[in-house]
């Protein structure tokens, strides 16, 4: 017997997770069920939950990469030579 369950998920994370699960042959429901089964089998979270120790510079680079990746006006390049030329300008 299954029961409906609602959870609130960040829209960007949901999209990324859905894409990943599709590549793995899973849907969101299957992935959540897999996670919950592993929690029960292991008696806890099935992976380490810890705070990454990134430097402030690395965190700023992550934030900038995230911003650029979501900017529809950010330039894109189809090959390395095109990128090199843009860097020279």
Handedness of CA 32, 34, 35, 37 (dihedral sign): positive
Structural domain spans, the chain? 56-88
The string of DSSP letters for 54-66 reads --HHHHHHHHHHH
- The string of pLDDT tens digits covering residues 7-27 is 999 999 999 999 999 999 999
Question: CA gyration radius for the chain?
Answer: 19
Cβ–Cβ under 8 Å, residues 16 and 8: no
Reported pTM: 0.57
- The string of pLDDT tens digits covering residues 39-75 is 999 999 999 999 888 999 999 999 999 999 899 888 8
């Amino acid at each position: 017997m299954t029961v409906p369950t609602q959870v609130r998920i960040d829209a960007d994370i949901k999209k990324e997770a859905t894409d990943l699960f599709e590549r793995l042959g899973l849907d969101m429901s299957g992935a959540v069920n897999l996670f919950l089964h592993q929690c029960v089998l292991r008696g806890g979270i099935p992976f380490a939950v810890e705070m990454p120790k990134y430097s402030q510079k690395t965190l700023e680079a992550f934030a900038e990469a995230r911003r650029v990746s979501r900017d529809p006006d950010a330039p894109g390049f189809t090959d390395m030579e095109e990128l090199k030329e843009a860097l020279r300008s």
